[in-house]
Amino acid sequence: MRYFIGNWKMFGVPKSISILNKINSYYSKDKNRNKYRVIMTPPYTLIESYSKYFKNKKISIGAQNCYQKEQFSSNTAAVSPYMLKSVGAKYTLVGHSDNRGEGDTDTMLKDKVRYALKNNLKVVFCIGENKTEKKNKKTLSVLKRQLTKVLEKKFNKNNLIVAYEPIWSIGTGKIPTTDELKKTTIHIKKVLKGIFKKNSPAVLYGGSVDGSNVEMFKEIKEIDGFLVGGASKTSKKFIDIIKNYYR
């Protein structure tokens, strides 16, 4: 099974549902539709209405983040996994570089993953190295630390997806070479196998993915799908990624 996950970040109003309608229309008719899943993560403000609208359709709706407490607390503007589940979210991103940059620690991320899974949300756990770490050849050690500091054997791996997003690639148009990405993905899966002992969670790639470069990633069988940023805000660009991947 492949995954095509869109991260809208700070984008979208109620009428933006037309973008998802077009994607859903394509998805529903695509001859390859049973080979992949489409998940979209709009801002919190749209999760409930979009979840209701797409309840019996192909697209699943998720959140871009969650707070590190299970249900309710006195933290202003925080949204817990329990609250996300109550408005229909099925997935949540955790550990995106934007949030790590704003102060998310490994301890906080572990709590986010734990409570999201406890509330039956599927977690897309994001990892990635920055430009300096890549330059200093620390990519593999950084990714191993990010995985082993947060994920535990007792977590339900069936509800976990890992997304590798090199920070230096996000929004820059720069992407790893095929050899780099293959080596990195194999390393991630090896670390995950060490944590969970048996079959590891799916591993996605994210970072400047678009319709023009997605065919390159097709060569890397270890990649189980994509976390898409900017290109997910336009139905044509997102559909082109799927089309060109299966071309």
Selected catalytic residue, list 96, 129, 133, 187: 96
Helix axis angle, 178-196 to 139-148, nearest 10°: 30
Instruction: Decide if 165 is catalytic.
Output: yes
Give the whole-angstrom CA distance, residue 8 versus residue 230: 7
Rounded to 5 degrees, what angle do the CA atoms 118, 226, 245 make? 140
Contacts of residue 28, defined as CB under 8 A and 6 or more positions apart, other chains included, come to 57, 58
Q: What are phi and psi of 67, to 5 degrees?
A: -85, 160
- Other C-beta atoms closer than 10 Å to the C-beta of 107 total 11
| Catalytic (active site) residue 96 | yes
Instruction: Give every CB contact of residue 148 below 8 A, 6+ residues apart in sequence.
Output: 191, 194, 195
**Strand pairing partners for 164?**
127, 205
Helix (H, G, I), strand (E, B) or coil at 41: strand
- Active-site residue, from 48, 102, 152, 165: 165
Q: Which residues are catalytic?
A: 96, 165
